[in-house]
Amino acid sequence: MPEKIDFSKVRFLICDPNALSLTMLNDILSMLGATYIRKVNDFEKAMNVLKEGNIDIVITEHDLPAEGGIALVDYIRNDPSSRNRLLPVILLTARSEEQYVVEARDHGVNEFVAKPYTVDSLYKRLSMVIAYPRPFVSAPGYFGPDRRRKQMPFNGNERRGVDPNARPS
């Protein structure tokens, strides 16, 4: 029997300065069955919602007044006051050029969806962060999802300390 995702159990924060984008995303999530969707159009409001701590997934635009979506990711991943450093973040943005993809990846974004998007592409990313979450990496200068997507054979010495029970400090 195939697995299903009950979106009524998932609490969303969606951040986009564009009202139409925000409404459409809200409508898509509602159609999926989500009932807890917090909508904000700027960085400050997003921060306020995050500080309350009742969020499972963040979907944000890159261009978020006033600090930007990447600053929001930095807060979630690295700020001592962050309520959940492992919170899944999907960047859903019209900034689709390679430099933005690399920037997002290096700041700890889980998934990147370029606008204009299809509902199928968005759903695949949602499904990934819920059903198949990636391990996190804590390293000097980086805290976020493992950036290695491919499992490559490696014959050298294993120099990374792997502790399955390690939690972020």
- For the CA atoms of the chain, what is the radius of gyration? 16
Nearer to another protein, 1 or 153 (CB): 1
Place of tokens 């290695």: 148
The CA-based dihedral angle spanning residues 18, 72, 106, 93, taken in that order and rounded to the nearest 10 degrees: -10
Q: How far is the CB of 159 from another protein (least distance, A)?
A: 7
Is the Cβ of residue 19 or residue 102 nearer to another protein in the bound state? 19
* Nearer to another protein among residue 47 and residue 113 (C-beta): 113
- Least separation in angstroms between residue 148's CB and another protein is 10
Q: How far is the CB of 24 from another protein (least distance, A)?
A: 5
Minimum CB distance to another protein, residue 71 (Å): 18
Instruction: Quickly list H helices, 14-145.
Output: 19-32, 43-52, 69-78, 98-107, 119-131
Instruction: Give least dist CB 59 to another protein, A.
Output: 14
């995050």: which residue's tokens? Answer: 50
| Both tokens assigned to 106 | 């290096």
b/e sequence 43-64, b meaning 16+ C-beta within 10 Å:
bebbbebbeeeebbbbbbbbeb
Contact 95, 103 (CB under 8 A): no
Binding positions for another protein, rule: CB under 8 A: 1-10, 18-21, 23-24, 27-28, 31-33, 56-57, 63, 86, 88, 93-95, 115-120, 123, 127, 130-131, 133-140, 146, 159-168
